[in-house]
Structure 1
Amino acid sequence: MSGFAAVDVIRAKRDGGTLSGEQIDWVVDAYTRGVVAEEQMSALAMAIFLNGMSPAEISRWTRAMIESGERLSLDVSRPTVDKHSTGGVGDKITLPLAPLVAACGAAVPQLSGRGLGHTGGTLDKLESIPGWRASLSTAEILRQLDDVGAVVCAATSGLAPADKKLYALRDVTATVESIPLIASSIMSKKIAEGASGLVLDVKFGSGAFMKSLDQARALASTLTSIGADHGVPTTALLTDMNVPLGRAVGNAVEVAESVEVLKGGGPSDVVSLTLALATEMLALAEVSADPAAVLASGEAYEVWCRMIAAQGGDPSAPLPTPSHVHVVSAPSSGVLASLDAYAVGVAAWRLGAGRARKEDPVQAAAGVLCLAKPGDAVSEGQPLLELHTDTPEAVPAALEALAGGFSIAESAPSPGPIVVETIRAGM
């Protein structure tokens, strides 16, 4: 592929033009191979950020990123369906969801990532289980999908390498929040994974990447359209992330809460979102099953144990506990009126549950337990939050993040639904 110059492609988008399919194919391929320099792709990313892309450009850009690497062929005995969340606080939903959908009869190839900033990473949570390993070969992934029905692991290095390069570049060039670049990043990886259906959990609110419902709706519409263009039926649920999901925020604490859900308990918001996503996934996989009945039966917990053991983990082993716990108490009596997801997420991050840079380690035992949620009556001095950490010197910074992050009043507004809207391509 030749006949193009990076500066011409940059100029076309800088001036508000529409890139041709050939220009897109060339620039993504040349950037992946190192022919287009980082500073040139930085300029193009900023031009895309400022001027946007048409649906046809986004679809072609996604295709070019998929074709920069390999595409998994999921030749397994069950219908395959995947789920992706745009990230939130206390968002452990993959952990109960993957074994639940597998227990219902579908195969779930959940290739996940690590956390960055205030939103936790699924792999970081699971690595708090003694012995569990994230890196599997393609052969191991396929074997586990056939044997167990669910796998949660790191993406293989050959999937969408263009995205890996561009993702890192966007982070340091203030171009992360571009819907065309976000959507093509998510969908290139998910389509390359090879699942025949995809359900997206697009979050909005203080603890989410998209702060407003309108932003989340625009992203969800773009994502579902890309899925349709590439022959992957895609459904998006718009879900509220103004309050942390469940009561646990961190790594080991979220695993423990997920196990509670799989054993038939757990917080109602985690259960309801798990069931809502499972219902959509089973519909796309054309599997007839009642996920609520399967969850209640204990079958999903059995799949969880097999899934963890298949990756070297011990599902019965004690989870790590923190060396230091700091309790935040209610300053007055009343009703907990608000609990800001972003404040709690940043506090957990500062306690060691998350990382500021990709190479930073995380603490398995760090996190925040929300002992009260909005709507709960509280008394002065009653414990509201538990801060867990192995580095007590991190507590003041976590408390600073929580300043103004909750309020107590005479009454609290009624909570709205977790799932606010459902978007399918063409709707």
Structure 2
Amino acid sequence: MRYIPNTDEQKREMLKEIGVSSFEELIKIIPQNLRLKERLNIPEAITESELEDKIYHIAQKNSNFFLMKPLVGAGAYRHYIPEAEKFLLQREEFWTCYTPYQPELSQGTLQSIFEYQSYISRLTKTEVVIPSIYDGASATGEAALMSLRLTHKNKIIVSNLLHPHYRETLKTYVAPHKPEIIELPYNNGLVDIKKLQNLIGEDVAAVIIQSPNFFGGIERLSEISEIVHSKDALLIDVIVESMSLGILKAPGEMNVDIVVGNAQSFGMDLNFGGPYNAYLATKKQFIRQLPGRIVGETVDVDGKRVFVMTMRAREQDIRRERATSNICTNHNLNVTASNIYLSLLGTEGLYQISLINTKSAHYLENLLIKSGKFEKVFDYPFYNEFLLKSKEDIDTVNKKLLENNYIPPLKICQFYKEESLKNVLLFAVTEILSRDDLNKVANILLE
């Protein structure tokens, strides 16, 4: 970090400008019992070159992430990012997270957002898209609040196969409205349809389902949709691994009302957990309750095509009591990254990568089961994540993988305490893992 130290003369000038004679006079309003009596327990100052050398040696203790390939997903997935995207993102014109309020100065940015909205609309088969929400978890919370406004009901059914972090965020988001949150259990790795039929009633605002779910299972959304709509409730589909949209049936084609998606898989690296981006897509009839704003296309006074922000219902745009959301920023660099990524891949490219993901995941599952060291937990359809029970202690399994530069799969018992899920691992496979990698993983775990 670069910094500019202040000289004694500069300090005196600043104190004089403030109207005090000394630093002590400046802080005299702070009671003595609240002031620190001793020096902070931190090292003495060092030069910039010494600091750089120190940090470099600390960094050498880190593993080489490029060489370590992940077998874990559970909400954050390592996909290959084209060099062209990385190069284009170095353009300084893109380096802002702020909303382009002046359309006459922001046509390029607005067009990029509009293009991204169009891509998500095509992938989800929905009519309206909010392109930028902090992440999938907060977008899920926004969708739940949207359902309460639309239905004027106060009960939400939530699948317990929704990502645990999303469930916690959801509870925080809706807490001021005091809705009743009902947990929908699972059966054989998918939501329990019979339980849903028993739980749902005319007083339910929405049912929130994740597909592919936290166990990797592909939910029966068409069947769930019929049950939900028979009671005039809304169906919210949460997509944590958006790469699955390249191959699975679009939620809009199954009459899903609100689609929430984590966009991290579209051109964003893992980045130590963020920042990512999320989208919220829905039907045009719900446009007035969207939590945010969209970019629209129009014409200027000369008849030329231009782009503007519209449907601006966040609290910094209108009166707070009428706002649909208090989201106060725009992850525009991440939106741009996703737009570049999807533009480079195109329809066929996205399909091929999605296909590789699911084929590779099924290939690895078959290898591990054939090894005799693992067994299936559930018999369910999955995309690129799956559960396997190890016949060996999972700490031993994960140690073997780490020693061979593979980030081990998730211990599912960290989030689910059922006896049947002890010694169970959640594997994730993306195109980062080649066929040779998958064979190597199987051979490592055979030892």
TM-score normalised by the chain length of structure 2:
0.27
Higher Cα Rg: structure 1 or 2?
A: 2
TM-score normalised by the chain length of structure 1:
0.28
